[in-house]
């Protein structure tokens, strides 16, 4: 069962007590990512996340890692387009020790100059690693084609030149603007009660907030239509992305979209996988995926192919999309999809870290409690008529964007659609 705690300073917490388990997952979710950045500070959210583990006034970077591991905990963090999360998973008896450490790195990190210098190099290596990954480049290119050079169109890592000049003062100023209690959600899942979670929050988090936080919201994003972006690079395989405007995260029809996505390209039995890969052998990887943010969303198709197969593979993709738009999905496909979606939800409920993530993200971005029974009811309510109507609406080529990464191609991808 999920419960929410709200505090006078605007901080929220969501707790999911799961009886019968001996572990606890906890996360500090902050509503900031590359979506909130500008050209000058692009990459600062991710840089800040890295620096949180590089020492406090009492603990060295080794001390932080050693303490978490001495409690047998898994600890990590990530930055996305809209949020940053610091989290751990531990045995229940060490949950307080680990949560205390989480509070220390959030509030007492000092960003030593020597650690800043080392971490800049680490992140530049991460940027270089992406440059060797055509799939990652394609994700960035389709975001740029869809949203431009602002908001969601910006990369999470940022350019190397920004990373190389960020200072400790830049990080502190950034945190003062965004790491406010009103912009933060604490999420717990596992063998922990509301009372125990509240005690930990009051002891290690609540009193450590200052009062001089700013409050800045990113500008609304806009979906650009019929844009194409490419990166010509001598990769052995080419990556292609197609993007259609769709639903924001948590929309009332999000489950209809999820069902349609499974049928289109969400698994090995999907139409795209069976047609483009299994029957025609035109792609190593072909799949579809929805991508919802708080104010906007897309549904995307991705392919990993040889350049010589570009036109044939895209023609095959278009044929499958057109078939769904014209003839719709079948009853058998929908029933199979409902079973898959419900199974995925149930399996996720058995993982405390997954539960923590689902609950934390939903509370942070939508202010809502996650309810697996409600989600299952929404899946059961999806009809063939709703899915078919959604397909006709969402797969609109007049609004489609595309990205290509790989060897030079003579195929006009936008013209094919």
pLDDT digits (tens, 9 = 90+) for 277-295: 999 999 999 999 999 999 9
Distance CA 252, CA 378 (A): 9
Residue 213: predicted pLDDT: 72
307 close to 238: Cβ distance less than 8 angstroms: yes
> Is residue 274 predicted with pLDDT exceeding 70?
yes
Distance CA 208, CA 205 (A): 6
Residue 39 lies in a domain: yes
The reply to whether 203 and 237 lie within a common domain is: no
The reply to whether 250 and 337 lie within a common domain is: yes
Based on the residue annotation, tell me whether 311 is a catalytic residue of this protein: no
Residue 87: predicted pLDDT: 98
What is the tally of structural domains in the chain?
A: 2
The reply to whether 108 and 167 lie within a common domain is: yes
Which CATH number goes with the domain that contains 356? 3.30.830.10
- Which H or E element spans position 243? strand 238-245
DSSP conformation letters of 321-333: HHHHHHH---HHH
- Show Cβ contacts of residue 327 under 8 Å, excluding neighbours closer than 6 positions: none
Marked catalytic residue, from 37, 49, 82, 320: 49
Q: Please compute the mean of the pLDDT values over residues 54-83 and round it to a whole number.
A: 97
The reply to whether 254 and 179 lie within a common domain is: no
> Is residue 396 predicted with pLDDT exceeding 90?
yes
Residue 371 lies in a domain: yes
Strand order in the sheet with 285-292: 228-232, 401-406, 238-245, 297-305, 285-292
Give the pLDDT band (50/70/90) at residue 13. Answer: very high
Residue 215 lies in a domain: no
The reply to whether 25 and 149 lie within a common domain is: yes
9 close to 376: Cβ distance less than 8 angstroms: no
Residue 137 lies in a domain: yes
pTM tops 0.75 = yes
Give the pLDDT band (50/70/90) at residue 66. Answer: very high
pLDDT digits (tens, 9 = 90+) for 172-219: 999 999 999 999 999 999 999 999 999 999 999 999 998 767 767 788
Q: Please compute the mean of the pLDDT values over residues 356-363 and round it to a whole number.
A: 98
Q: Which of 178, 208, 238 is the last residue of a domain?
A: 208
> Is residue 120 predicted with pLDDT exceeding 70?
yes
Residue 215: predicted pLDDT: 66
Alpha helices in 132-210 (DSSP H): 134-147, 160-163, 168-178, 194-204
The reply to whether 235 and 183 lie within a common domain is: no
> Is residue 345 predicted with pLDDT exceeding 70?
yes
Query: Which is more confident, 96 or 211?
Result: 96
Distance CA 372, CA 346 (A): 8
Burial annotation 42-66 (CB, 10 A radius, 16+ → b, else e): bbbbbbbbbbbbbbbeebeeeebee
Q: Which of 160, 176, 208 is the last residue of a domain?
A: 208
Q: Which long-range contacts (CB under 8 A, 24 or more apart) does 157-160 make?
A: 157/43, 157/46, 157/123, 157/126, 157/127, 157/130, 158/34, 158/37, 158/41, 158/42, 158/43, 158/44, 158/46, 158/47, 159/42, 159/43, 159/127, 160/124, 160/127
CA-based nearest residue to 283, from 293, 291, 274, 294: 274
* Average pLDDT of the residues of the chain: 96
Give the pLDDT band (50/70/90) at residue 315. Answer: very high
Residue 385 lies in a domain: yes
Q: Please compute the mean of the pLDDT values over residues 66-79 and round it to a whole number.
A: 98
The reply to whether 276 and 193 lie within a common domain is: no
Residue 213 lies in a domain: no
240 close to 416: Cβ distance less than 8 angstroms: no
The reply to whether 153 and 236 lie within a common domain is: no
Residue 223 lies in a domain: no
Instruction: Give me the domain span that covers residue 167.
Output: 2-208
């Amino acid at each position: 069962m999920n419960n929410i705690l709200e505090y006078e300073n605007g901080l929220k917490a969501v707790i999911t007590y799961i009886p019968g388990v001996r572990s606890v997952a906890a996360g500090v979710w902050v509503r900031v990512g590359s979506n909130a950045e500008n050209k000058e500070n692009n990459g600062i959210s991710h840089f800040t996340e890295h620096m949180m583990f590089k020492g406090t006034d009492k603990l060295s970077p080794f001390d932080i890692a050693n303490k978490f591991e001495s409690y047998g905990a898994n600890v990590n963090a990530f930055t996305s387009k809209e949020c940053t999360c610091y989290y751990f998973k531990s045995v229940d008896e060490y949950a307080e020790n680990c949560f205390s450490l989480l509070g220390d790195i959030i509030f007492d990190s000092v960003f030593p100059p020597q650690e800043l210098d080392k971490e800049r190099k680490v992140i530049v290596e991460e940027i270089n690693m992406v440059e060797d990954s055509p799939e990652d480049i394609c994700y960035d290119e389709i975001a740029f084609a869809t949203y431009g050079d602002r908001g969601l169109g910006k990369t999470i890592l940022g350019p190397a030149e920004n990373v190389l000049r960020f200072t400790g003062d830049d990080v502190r100023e950034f945190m003062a603007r965004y790491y406010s209690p009103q912009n933060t959600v604490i999420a717990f899942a596992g063998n922990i009660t509301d009372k125990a979670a509240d005690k930990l929050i009051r002891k290690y988090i609540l009193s450590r907030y200052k009062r001089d936080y700013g409050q800045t919201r990113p500008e609304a994003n806009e979906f650009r239509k019929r844009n194409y972006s490419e990166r010509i690079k001598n990769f052995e395989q080419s990556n292609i992305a197609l993007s259609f405007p769709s639903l924001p995260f948590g929309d009332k029809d999000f489950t209809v979209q999820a069902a349609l996505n499974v049928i289109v390209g969400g698994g090995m039995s999907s139409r795209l996988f069976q047609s483009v890969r299994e029957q025609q052998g035109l792609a190593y990887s072909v799949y579809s995926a929805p991508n919802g943010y708080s104010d906007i969303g897309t549904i995307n198709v991705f392919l990993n192919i040889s350049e010589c197969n570009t036109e044939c593979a895209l023609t095959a993709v278009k044929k499958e999309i057109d078939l769904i738009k014209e003839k719709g999905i079948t009853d058998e496909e929908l029933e199979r999809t409902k079973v898959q979606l419900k199974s995925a939800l149930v399996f996720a409920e058995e993982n405390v870290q997954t539960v923590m993530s689902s609950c934390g993200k939903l509370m942070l971005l939508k202010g809502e409690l996650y309810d697996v029974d409600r989600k299952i009811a929404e899946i059961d309510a999806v009809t063939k008529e709703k899915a078919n109507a959604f397909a006709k609406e969402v797969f609109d080529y007049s609004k489609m964007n595309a990205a290509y990464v790989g060897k030079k191609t003579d195929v006009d991808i936008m013209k094919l659609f």
